Amino acid sequence: MNPYQSYSSLTLAYVGDAVYEVFIRTKLTENGDKKVNRLHKEAKNFVSAKAQCQIVEQLLDILTPDEIDIFKRGRNTKVNTKAKNADFKEYHNATGLEALIGYLYLSKNMERLTQILEKAYQIAADIQGESYEK
């Protein structure tokens, strides 16, 4: 058994949030130098709870049963806070996605982590109707 499966979902989400944020910031800067204000506005379209909820809804069909279990644990975790601009479902789905990302990162499953992050990025870009790809 992977030792990270027994970690708290919120611990996994804490790590996953940071990993996802760095990934998105890196992707947004691949096309060259931009003003920080613009980068921040673009990043919000990828990292908000609303965006993450939309992403995870499209990712579910490519997740393994173990990955779905980690996602569901994160999604179903009781949290004592609420996002400012998200409803209950969005916030909990985003927490589930972040828990999955944190789990894959801590498990050092970088190939699968990269696949999921790249797919998440493309989904978010498609949802926005624009592509930030090179």
Q: Among 6-10, 56-60, 66-70, name the one with the lowest average pLDDT.
A: 6-10
Residue 87 has a pLDDT of 82
For 53, how many CA atoms within 13 A lie in the half-sphere containing its CB?
A: 14
What type of residue is 114?
Answer: T
Is the pLDDT confidence value at 71 over 90?
yes
- Residue range 3-128 in CATH 3.30.470.20: no
Contact predicate 31/132, CB 8 Å = yes
pLDDT in tens, 76-97: 987 766 667 778 888 899 999 9
Q: 55-91 b/e with 16+ CB inside 10 Å = b?
A: bbeebeeebeeebbebbebbbebeeeeebeebeeebb
Write down the pLDDT at residue 63.
Answer: 97
Q: State residue 6's pLDDT score.
A: 82
Instruction: Report, as an integer, the average pLDDT of 117-123.
Output: 95
**DSSP per-residue string spanning 37-70:** HHHHHHHHHHHSHHHHHHHHHHHGGGS-HHHHHH
Per-residue pLDDT tens digits for 28-49 = 888 778 788 888 888 888 898 8
Average pLDDT taken over every residue of the chain? 88
**Catalytic site positions:** 17
| Domain spans in the chain, listed from the N-terminal domain onward | 3-128
